[in-house]
A and B are shown apart, each in its own frame.
Chain A
Amino acid sequence: MDEILRSQQGTTRFGTKKQISILFFISIFCLIAFLLAIANGSYQISFTELFAGSGQNIQQIVITEIRLPRVLLSCLVGASLGMSGAVLQGLFRNPLADPGLIGVSAGAALGASIAIVITPAFIAESSLGVFVLPISGVLGASFVIALLFALTKGFGYQGITYLLLVGIAVNAIVGVAIGVLTYISTDSELRTLTFWTMGSFGGINWSLLIPASIVITLSIVLLIPISRQLDLVQLGEIEAYRLGVDVKKLKVRIILCCASCVGASVALSGMIGFVGLIVPHLARLIGGVSHRYLLPASALLGACIMVSADLLARVIIQPAELPIGLITSAIGSPFFLWLIFKMKKNDY
């Protein structure tokens, strides 16, 4: 008892001492993955060259213009998917919530692909052009979340089944729409169907990365402080109100932030499935369920896993690349099934 309370005294903003050290270790892994991902690929660069900056000109270009933006993007996308998975699971009080499964990612993909087809050339080529993609992604994601919100009467009492069913419908509609768009569009800007359904971090450049990274970082920073409120929501919405949480405001904040970071992520990297589902679950297994730990842990672990998965996608069949979504789904879908069986056993 005293031991438990003593561990309590060490409690900080991000959890107990044990949870802090877990966060620290995940950060280290994240850093290692980051460096490995920059050094490895079709074009090998040794670590000494990486740190000394003594490489030849072509190596520098590979690093600064290709690898670095790519690895940064995978970091950001992993963090935003992990984070929004954790936050949505907390809000819906259900471990099956995931931006991909409930159709939010699909909405973002549709928004982005429509924008690519219909944006007039003079806007696309102007300095504002780089904002078109993330903004349309955010709008697409927001549209789906608004639809979910309306259909479930403010995410009320219909529960997760309803959300997942809507997600299936939205995913199907978007699949058709993007398929048609890629088929009829002669615009070379519109990437392949595989890009949207399986995702890829290839083809990114700094001018596209910077606006999206601002959106993603901002949303993540705005989501971190809601951890205590999310904890209280676990007691039930009414209990959270009774303990002083303005749940309506909280929902609006979560919706806006999740739509923003998922929208911006999907616009640049396509739909990468199951990361938002697995990452928070792993984080809970390692260090506990309290959100002050879970939110930063999910962001870091998401970044770590995404960078590693992208590295794997690049090196596994060199010099070609596997679609990143193939890897994440290969790991994620059996995990999804396992979660469902586990939930059934617990008789939710």
Chain B
Amino acid sequence: MTIKSESMSLEIDGGEIVNDINIEVFPGKVLALIGPNGAGKSTILKILSGDIKPTSGVVKYNDINISNIPFFDRAHIRGVMSQSQTIAFDFSVLEIIEMGWLHSDHDYYTSFYPDVLKQIIEDCELQHLADRKFNTLSGGEQKRVHFARVLLQLWIPEGDIHPRFMLLDEPLANLDIYYELKMLEIIKKHLSKNIGVLLILHDLNTASKFADNIVLMKNGTIVKNGSTVEVLTESILSETYETKIKVNDTSPKITYL
């Protein structure tokens, strides 16, 4: 019951974008994807989401090859958040969040809908924005709305034992400190609901505090894949980022020299 890539590679016009990637996202765990710009982190997220087909290797959701899973079923397994596009028409914030609801044809689940929706809006502290036009929000606010939409998409009905996964591309970008902590707190809360999380992070300290496992990437390949302690060492980080990096025993754990 995981999201997994097996020796996955992607070539575009003969150039290798990512090469031989083996990673696995477990329910209840946070996997952070870190690395310098252009390392191929977003590409991996796109392949794992099913946006792009890898040139070789496979992506499996719960041990089933993703190409055998219809789009609609994929949506029930994983939710994705990445850089948002502009929206041409004036949808309200509430309408955008609602787009995450996958059960509109399901009468029984529909009876839960108002409560589920209300809970998520309160969790994300979007009450005062619900009526606003989405296009008038700031970048950070738009991000929080999309996050709420993903949470609604991944709502697990009572008794459903199948895990869900969140794939988040820099979820903390544009957020102020308050909402950064808030979002991490919400993600943490969802781990216990049988949800696994993959996130792309830039801040190494956040990664060290928050992730269970870390995949460090550079130039389209995995430099190191392991627990936080295994990956975040001075020698590995300094070499990968080509910067002198110090790992401390006290907080802040990681400092740049």
Contact = CB atoms under 8 A, between A and B. Distances in A.
B71 A284 contact: no
A5 interface: yes
B51 A1 contact: no
A95 B51 CA distance: 27
B118 interface: yes
Interface stretch (A162-170, A177-185, A233-241): A233-241
Contacts of B94: 4, 8
Interface in B100-116: 100, 102, 104, 114
A243 interface: yes
B245 to A, nearest CB: 34
A234 B130 contact: no
Interface string A95-107: 1000000000000
Given A4-B94, A242-B75, A231 B99 contact: yes
Q: Which range contains the number of B residues in contact with the other chain? A: 35 or more
A245 B73 CA distance: 10
Nearest to A160: B88
B71 A245 contact: yes
A234 B99 CA distance: 10
A289 B90 contact: yes
Interface string B46-58: 0001110000000
A8 B114 contact: yes
A317 B128 CA distance: 55
A223 interface: no
B117 A8 contact: yes
Nearest to B86: A348
A241 B52 CA distance: 11
A228 B104 contact: yes
B78 to A, nearest CB: 8
Given A235-B87, A244-B71, A9 B114 contact: yes
Contacts of A290: 91, 95
A174 interface: no
Nearest to A96: B88
A117 B107 CA distance: 55
Contact of B91 (A4, A95, A236, A289): A289
Interface in B233-249: none
Of B71, B90, B92, B131, which is in contact with the most chain A CB atoms at under 10 Å from its CB?
Answer: B71
B138 interface: no
Nearest to A6: B114
Contact of A5 (B85, B87, B88, B114): B114
Interface of B: 49-51, 70-76, 79-80, 84-92, 94-96, 99-100, 102, 104, 114, 117-118, 121, 127-128, 130-131, 153
19 contacts: A1-B121, A4-B130, A4-B131, A5-B117, A93-B89, A231-B91, A231-B95, A236-B84, A241-B71, A242-B75, A243-B99, A243-B102, A244-B71, A244-B75, A244-B76, A244-B102, A284-B90, A289-B91, A290-B91
